[in-house]
Amino acid sequence: MSIYDTLNKEQREAVYHTEGPLLILAGAGSGKTRVLTHRIAYLMDEKGVNPWNILAITFTNKAAQEMRERVDKLVGFGSESIWVSTFHSACVRILRRHIDNLGYDTNFTIYDTDDQKSLMKDVCRKMNIDTKIYKERSLLAQISHAKDELLTPDDMEMKAAGDYNMKKVASVYREYQAALRKNNALDFDDLIVKTVELFEKCGAVLEYYQERFKYIMVDEYQDTNTAQFKFVSILASRYENLCVVGDDDQSIYKFRGANIGNILGFEQVFPEAKVIRLEQNYRSTQNILNAANEVIANNTERKPKTLWTENPEGEKIHFRQFMNGFEEAEYVVGDIASRRREGRCSYRDCAILYRTNAQSRLFEEKCLLANIPYKIVGGVNFYARKEIKDLLSYMKTIDNASDDLAVRRILNVPKRGIGATTVGRVQEYADHMQISLYDALRVSEEIPSLGRAQSKIDGFVTFIQSLKSKAAAYTVEELLEEIIDLTGYVDELKEEDTEESRARIENIDELISKTVSYQEAMAAEGREATLSGFLEEIALVADIDSVDPDQDYVLLMTLHSAKGLEFPYVYLAGMEDGMFPSSMCIFSADLSDMEEERRLCYVGITRAMKELTLTSAQQRMVRGETQYNRVSRFVREIPRELVELGHTIQEHKPKMPETTSAKSSYMQMKMAFQAKAFQPKSFQVKKADSLDYGVGDTVRHVKFGVGIVKDIVEGGRDYEVTVDFDRAGTKKMFAGFAKLKKI
C-alpha cells in the first residue's frame, strides 16, 4: 500500500498536480500540512525532482521545523537539501549572499524591536520631532505598514498629497531608512522589501533563484502581505510551479498587514491556476461544522466552500446567557471542573477563548479560586502585564511607600528624566542610611551630585504625597482614575494608536472594573473597601507562580492565538455585540472590518472537536461602568435547530434587579475566600441600639431584597442576624450594617 492511499480524493488530486500554479483552498481541519508534506514526497519519489529545487515557505519556525520532520519521515534520504523556512529566514539567506548588489555589506545587522525604537529616538532627536505628538512606536507602526505595501518614502510622500501629518511621517521614514543604511542594518520588514528590490534590480540573481526553486509551496497563504506576495510571484514567474495553500475564511491578521486579496485574486495573477477545495474535515462533529458554515456564509468576500465530515453529528452547540461576566466565568470554570471530576476529560482538553486579552482576568481569578491549573497562551497573565504592574505599583507606593520595588518601577513612568545613574545614587544613600528608597527621595537635597535631577525627584515626591493625601477621601476606583488622569498613562497610549496600545487600554479598563467589583463585593458584605484590602486581594489572586508547568492545564487564549490549534471542549466567551464583534467593527465604515471579525468567529468555532459552548452576559463591566449588550450577531447567525439553550436569550435591555450583586454566587465564593485574609484589624462596628424585628419576621435588605429572620445571636460587638432571603439564599450579617427593615 502506497503512502498516498491514506489520502482522500481531493487530497490526492492536490498531491498529484505538480505542474503549473495551484491554489488549494483548505478548510479548517482538512489536513493541509499532510497534503503539503505528501506533495513534497511525491515530487521527489515519483517525479524525480531534485530536493535542491524545492522551496517550502511557512509562517513560523515551529511550523517549518514540523514540516521538515514530517517530510524526513516520508522520504528519508535527501530531504535536508529542501529549503523549508519562513519568509524572513529565506530572505536573510538570499541577502547574506547578494545584498552587496544594493550597496550594503553582506555582514549587515538585523535590528529587533528595541533597536528600532532606539534608532527612531535618535532620528526624532535629530529632526526635532515632538515625540509627544508623533510617538516613536506609532511612527514605526506606520513605516512597517508602508513596507508591507512596498511603499518607499517617496511613494508615501506622493500619497500624502496635502496631508501634513502623513508628509511628516514620510520625512521621518526617509531619515530612518538613511540611518539604517548608514549603520549597515535592516529591520525585520526590510528583509522582504530588500529581497524584492534585489530581484527587480539584479536580473542575474533573480535568474539564479528562479532556476534553483522550480517548485515553490507556500502555507497559510491567506496571511501574506503585499511584499510577501510580490516575493513569491517574482520567484515563481519563470516556471509557475507555485502551489499555495490557505483558507480565505481564516484570514484574521489584517492588523498585521495580511492582505486577503492575495488568496482571493490568485487566479487573476495566475489565470492558468487550478483550484482544489479540501472540504472534508477530520477534526469536528457535523453540528459544529454546520454552525461554522452558517456563520461564515454571511461574508461576501470569500470563495464558497462547505465543510463536512464523516465524524458523528455530535452534541448541539451549547449557548448560555448570564446576568454578568462573573456568572459567565463561574459557569465556564464550574463546567470544566465537573467534567474533570466525572472523568469525562482532562484539563488540557478544555480551552477558553475570548476576543481581547483583558477578558482573561475573570477566568484567571475563577480558576485560582477553584484551584484549577491554567495557562495563558500567547499572552501574559493579567496581573503580570506591564501596564497593570505599573498602575498597581502606583497604588502600592501610595499604600506603602517602603515598597522599594514599586517605587523604583514608577519613578520614571511616565518619563520624568530620572535616569538609572540618579536612581543608583539615591539607592546608595538609602542603603547607607538604612532607610527606604522613598524616604531617601524625600530628602534628596541631602544627597550629593544629583544635579538637575533633584528638582525632578522633588516633583515625583510631591506628586505621590498629593495622591497619599487624597487616598483617605477617595474610593479605590477614584484613586485609580486619578492616577491614570494625572500620569497621562492612557493619553500616551491613545496617541500611540497601535493595536498593542489599544489592547493595553482595554487591560487598564478591566483593572478599573476590578476596583468597582471589589467595592461592590465589600459593600454587599457590609465591609469597608480599602486600598490595602484591594491590593491584598490582588496579591492573592495574582500569585500564579505556584502552578506547576508540568501539570494538566486549562488553556486560556485570545481567538488570534488559537489559530491552528484544536481542543475537544471549547468555550467561546463574551459573545455579545460590542465585545465580539467589537464596537469598533460595528461602527466602522469599512464593511471588510466586520467580515474579518466574522472570520475570527469562524476560526473560534472550528477549534472545537467534540463540544462547543458559547456564553454571553446581559451586562458587562467595561472601564468600571456597566454596559448592556445584546447577544452577538454571530450567535444569532447560527440556526436555532443547531443550538441547545440552557438559558433564555433576552435581547432586550434587562432591568437591574435589586439582588444582582448578591444573587451571584461569585459573592458567596468571595465571602468564603476572604473571610480571614481580609478582616481589617481596626474593624469597628456600631452596635444596633435595639431591633424592631424578631425571629420569624419578614424583613427587607437594600441589596438582598425580602427574607425571613431565622436567628438572632447577641455577639460582643453587635447582634448577628441570620436571614433566609427569597432570591439570595441564607445570609449572616451584623444588624448595625444590615439595616434591615421589618415589613
What are the residue numbers of the active site? 32-33, 219-220, 250, 607
Vertex 722: Cα angle to 717 and 725 (nearest 5): 140
Contact 347, 552 (CB under 8 A): yes
Contact 32, 245 (CB under 8 A): yes
Q: What is the DSSP letter of 172?
A: H
Render the burial of 304-336: b for 16+ CB within 10 Å, e for the rest.
ebebebebeebebbbbbbbbbbbbbbbbbbebb
Pairing of strands 619-622, 625-628: antiparallel
Under DSSP, is residue 490 helix (H, G, I), strand (E, B) or coil?
helix
Query: Residue 174: how many CB atoms within 10 A of its CB?
Result: 17
Cis peptide before 414 (omega within 30 of 0): yes
- Cell 544629583 belongs to residue: 450
521/27 Cα distance (integer angstroms):
46
The alpha carbon torsion through 350, 33, 89, 142 (nearest 10 deg) reads -60
707/193 Cα distance (integer angstroms):
71
Q: What is the biggest distance separating any 2 CA atoms in the chain, rounded to whole angstroms? A: 99
Cell, residue 563: 489559530
Under DSSP, is residue 242 helix (H, G, I), strand (E, B) or coil?
strand
Vertex 402: Cα angle to 396 and 407 (nearest 5): 55
Contact 508, 386 (CB under 8 A): no
736/720 Cα distance (integer angstroms):
9
Contact 601, 634 (CB under 8 A): yes
CA–chain centroid gap for 627, Å, is 21
Give pairs for 720-724: CB < 8 Å, separation 24+.
721/691, 723/699
Pairing of strands 705-714, 698-701: antiparallel
680/528 Cα distance (integer angstroms):
9
Q: What is the DSSP letter of 632?
A: P
Query: Residue 291: how many CB atoms within 10 A of its CB?
Result: 28
